[in-house]
């Protein structure tokens, strides 16, 4: 009972005037020791002017937009609309070349699909200047469309040749839906491989490094 109510240990002992007020906490290690004036203010943690300027700039940017983060894949100078227009034009030209080569040789070559994917993708990369995957997807879609359209144009050209009519007369006589059906029915494993090549090359070639 005496020990519990005794004020010696509480008021005058370890808590009040000992370790807490005048000991290690107040005047020892905290105020004048390692934390305040030694290592932090004049020692190892001193920043040079360039570091201070950089931290100020980062603080200003963070204050202006606290949710902004650096994105290495950001399309800062990209133009997706121009990529669509340019890629579509090149895809159409490639489809004409695809149909012409197929019509003149009666063969289709794997290098044609690679060439289509590369030309379409390169035009998207040069004009669009994009780093994100949407440019790659655009290149893959337009490359596939170019190969398919080339086969469709070839069907009309072959139809015109068989029935000894002009190409534009063949377009009028052969319904569009039937021409598409012929393309699908005539497509074999080699055509699928060509499409896969065009998709892959078109995707890879469209994204700026």
* Cα 69 from Cα 21, distance rounded (Å): 46
Residue range 129-155: average pLDDT?
Answer: 96
**Secondary structure of 76-108 in the HEC alphabet?**
CCCCHHHHHHHHHHHHHHHHHHHHHHHHHHCCC
Residue range 90-96: average pLDDT?
Answer: 98
Question: Residue 147's pLDDT is what?
Answer: 95
Task: Say which residue, 70 or 172, is predicted with more confidence.
Answer: 172
pLDDT in tens, 147-160: 999 999 999 999 99
How remote is the C-alpha of 68 from its chain's centroid? 17
Three-state DSSP state, 26: helix
CA torsion 95-100-106-108 (nearest 10°) is: -30
* Cα 139 from Cα 205, distance rounded (Å): 8
pLDDT at 115 > cutoff 80: yes
Residues 6+ apart with CB under 8 A from 21: none
Q: Is the dihedral of CA 102, 122, 82, 84 positive or negative?
A: positive
pLDDT at 205 > cutoff 80: yes
Question: Residue 209's pLDDT is what?
Answer: 83
pLDDT at 15 > cutoff 70: no
* Cα 186 from Cα 90, distance rounded (Å): 25
């Amino acid at each position: 009972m005496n020990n519990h109510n005794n004020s010696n240990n509480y008021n005058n002992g370890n808590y009040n005037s000992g370790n807490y007020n005048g000991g290690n906490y107040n005047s020892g290690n905290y105020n004048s020791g390692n934390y305040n004036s030694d290592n932090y203010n004049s020692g190892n943690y001193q920043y040079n002017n360039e570091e201070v300027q950089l931290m100020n700039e980062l603080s200003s940017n963070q204050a202006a937009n606290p949710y902004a983060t650096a994105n290495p894949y950001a399309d800062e100078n990209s133009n997706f609309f121009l990529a669509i227009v340019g890629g579509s034009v090149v895809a159409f030209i490639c489809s004409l070349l695809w149909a012409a080569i197929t019509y003149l040789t009666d063969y289709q070559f794997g290098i044609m699909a690679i060439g289509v994917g590369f030309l379409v993708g390169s035009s998207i990369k040069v004009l669009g200047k994009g780093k994100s995957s949407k440019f790659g997807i655009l290149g893959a879609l337009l490359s596939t469309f170019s190969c398919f359209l080339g086969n469709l144009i070839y069907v009309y050209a072959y139809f015109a040749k068989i029935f000894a009519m002009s190409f534009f007369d063949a377009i009028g006589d052969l319904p569009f839906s039937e021409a598409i059906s012929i393309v699908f029915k005539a497509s074999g494993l080699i055509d699928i491989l060509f499409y896969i090549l065009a998709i892959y090359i078109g995707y890879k070639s469209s994204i700026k490094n």
